[in-house]
Amino acid sequence: MEREDDVQLIYNILSGDDEAFSVLVQKYQQSVHAFVWRKIGDFHHAEEITQDTFLQVYKKLPTLKDPHQFAGWLYVIANRLCIDWMRKKKLAVQSLEDTPTAEIEKSAYTRYLSEQRQIATSERRREIVKKLLARLPESERTVVTLYYLGEMKVKEISKFLGISVSTINTRLHRARKRLQESEMFLTSTAGGNSKMHERNIELCTQNLIAIGKAIQTYQKEHGDFPEWLSDLHPKYLPDASVFICPADDEDGKAGFLPNTDLVAISKIIGRIGFLQDIDPRMPVSYGYELAPEYRDKKNEQRLVFGDVIPLVRCWHHVNEDSGVLNLSFASQIYRSSKIWEHTPEDMYGSHAAALTAIEEILARPPDDKRYPDSKRFFDLYPQLVRLYTLLGNEQSAAALIERLKAGMIQNLQGYQMLFDILKTVERYEDLLAFFQVAEQQYPDNKFIFYKLADIHRKLGNTELAEAYERKSNPRYELVGKPVPNFSVIALDGNPISFQEYRGKVVLLHFWKVWRDFGTAETSDIKKVYDTYKDAGFDIIGVCLDSEEAIMRSLRNYTKVNGIQWRQIFDAAADSLLQQYDISGTPEMWLIDRNGKLITHEARVENLELLVAEAVKAQSQD
């Protein structure tokens, strides 16, 4: 079937359909790059050879006699270009002997300054992979590279290399066994290189210090902070590489590049999380806390906490042992948890210093402009209780709790604060008593039901926890019942209604571009669709994002990435958001062929199993 798809694409290309060529490139690009990288051992030059490969494919495609043999023909072109590159590299090395030493040293040092920060993390990963692959014979190394790095299926590799499926499986089996026997595969991949990790942090710290100095200079001249970090370049920070963390997962291509389509944006979004964080002018690895979207909030926090709070943050070193690296308003560098407000000891230096600082903050008179009068600062009280407890001052923690309980305003905000405080010290019996009163006060409130479910779960009352969980989410009552119909205009400009899907198992997928595209989730959903689409399964995407720049790229993204199911967006998506009471994304509703809800809590982890069962039940009816 895949070979027939290639044939159709080739016929379309020869008929002048450039979009078909884009699809063909997208299908084979990763596999070709993995093969070339393995062949020449240089990641960046492999990218160039991959581009040259597809350029030759485009020029020579009319000469391909049998389109069914496209994959093998593509492999031959890539292989020849690799051989040419290695021959030229050998000549280039020889020609250096005739180049003045001073010129070579000057050129090398210049490149070192501009590239060192960008390649450190790439080299770390590649060295690990290179050492592992070097332990394998050539035949096994090629298969492993295509299977794991190129993400090709066994049948695709068989077609690509022109050898049997059984031979591919045998080589994979032998390769896995060799790597397992060496006891390196899992430990090297998972453990990483601690020395390189620390070196990256050292270089990143230097970057942050340089950025901090540039911000200070900018402030002196303008009397304010820059709108974006890119405003510092080139006048205040000439070296653009300083904006790139050496541990950046995008190999120095971090941030938002203007006029890029969703394919590029999706890679960024998977790492940063929110479009508002992305510098609009140039690649920047670092999160700027005073970006326009957050400036007012950060200025308010700065008034309360002082200049110890983060100004610039680097998320590229986060793991079990290392947190976010921060540059404070006071130009100090420190590590913290992801949510710095939850661990104030990180920025104040110790639990005792944090306790003293928070006590001072809460003791300010209400007329002090630094007084934390916003509900956003209610989290200070749970933090104070936590710090008292950590420092062994149980008496002060208990006294504060009793004072807060006595003075608590019995509204939802008060109950939330009390919940956070008592949960900190695990006083669930007290919480249960308070929230039972809250339930009488707010008999139909989902928030109260949700908290009671959490409390009962902590107390081991499983049945009550499940009962309150159902009450907190009325959609549980929809399971087994018909899903309401809708009729709107889809992304393709044509009408779409749920009624027209009757007779199919349907996944109603509520999602947002900035959150879900470019992640493994999207890829896994597509795999389930491709597996079961011919068995009576379909998907309706409901995109709840309103970012215009992204929405303009949505059509292109779905086409290039082979997403065949229809999409609903803009006002039509908003209407479904209200109709189905969707509160967050991603959310997936699986619906049977009679239009009845199977579950509103489908997850990528169990999606294939759920769909398989639903399709099987459909075929048995």
Q: What are phi and psi of 567, to 5 degrees?
A: -125, 140
Residue 116, pLDDT score = 44
The length of the chain is 621
Q: Which residues contact 408 (CB under 8 A, 6 or more apart)?
A: 414, 417, 418
Amino acid at 586: P
Residue 321, pLDDT score = 56
Identify which has the larger pLDDT, 169 or 318.
169
For residues 74 and 35, give the distance between their C-alpha atoms in angstroms, rounded to a whole number: 11
pLDDT digits (tens, 9 = 90+) for 300-343: 889 889 999 999 998 877 665 567 899 999 999 999 887 788 88
The answer to whether 591 touches 598, Cβ cutoff 8 Å, is: yes
- Name the band, by pLDDT with cuts 50, 70 and 90, for residue 582: confident
Residue 621, pLDDT score = 56
For residues 92 and 94, give the distance between their C-alpha atoms in angstroms, rounded to a whole number: 5
Element (DSSP H or E) covering residue 538:
strand 537-543
Q: Which residues contact 612 (CB under 8 A, 6 or more apart)?
A: 532
The answer to whether 50 touches 82, Cβ cutoff 8 Å, is: no
Residue 311, pLDDT score = 94
Q: Which residues contact 177 (CB under 8 A, 6 or more apart)?
A: none
- Own/partner contacts of 130-136, CB < 8 Å, gap of 24 or more, are 130/41, 131/184, 131/188, 132/179, 132/184, 132/185, 132/188, 132/189, 133/38, 135/178, 135/179, 135/182, 135/184, 136/175, 136/178, 136/179
For residues 56 and 87, give the distance between their C-alpha atoms in angstroms, rounded to a whole number: 19
For residues 508 and 292, give the distance between their C-alpha atoms in angstroms, rounded to a whole number: 35
Tokens of 132: 């592992």
For residues 425 and 406, give the distance between their C-alpha atoms in angstroms, rounded to a whole number: 18
For residues 607 and 605, give the distance between their C-alpha atoms in angstroms, rounded to a whole number: 6
Q: Is the pTM of this model over 0.85?
A: no
Q: What percent of the chain has pLDDT over 70?
A: 74
The answer to whether 543 touches 554, Cβ cutoff 8 Å, is: yes
For residues 256 and 282, give the distance between their C-alpha atoms in angstroms, rounded to a whole number: 7
Report which listed range, 118-127, 162-171, 248-257, is most confident: 162-171
Q: What are phi and psi of 47, to 5 degrees?
A: -60, -45
Residue 394, pLDDT score = 85
- Calculate the average pLDDT of the chain: 76
Lowest pLDDT segment from 255-269, 458-472, 485-499, 533-547: 255-269
What average pLDDT does range 57-84 have in this prediction? Answer: 82
Domains of the chain (ranges plus CATH)? 28-189 (no CATH), 194-347 (no CATH), 355-477 (1.25.40.10), 487-620 (3.40.30.10)
Give how far Cα 60 sits from Cα of 14, 92, 352, 372, Å: 11, 28, 71, 69
What average pLDDT does range 385-399 have in this prediction? Answer: 87
The answer to whether 3 touches 20, Cβ cutoff 8 Å, is: no
- Name the band, by pLDDT with cuts 50, 70 and 90, for residue 279: confident
Task: Name the packing angle between helices 70-95 and 2-14 (round to 10°).
Answer: 70
Helix (H, G, I), strand (E, B) or coil at 287: strand
Residue 328, pLDDT score = 94
The answer to whether 614 touches 590, Cβ cutoff 8 Å, is: yes
For residues 370 and 227, give the distance between their C-alpha atoms in angstroms, rounded to a whole number: 24
Helix (H, G, I), strand (E, B) or coil at 262: helix
Question: Reading across the β-sheet that carries 597-599, which strands appear in turn?
Answer: 566-568, 537-543, 505-511, 587-591, 597-599
Residue 329, pLDDT score = 94
pLDDT digits (tens, 9 = 90+) for 173-195: 777 777 655 544 434 444 445 66
What average pLDDT does range 425-451 have in this prediction? Answer: 86
Name the H helices within 183-325: 185-191, 194-222, 262-272, 295-305
Query: Has residue 220 got a pLDDT over 90?
Result: yes
Lowest pLDDT segment from 42-46, 288-292, 608-612: 42-46
Strand ranges (DSSP E) for 377-523? 487-489, 495-497, 505-511
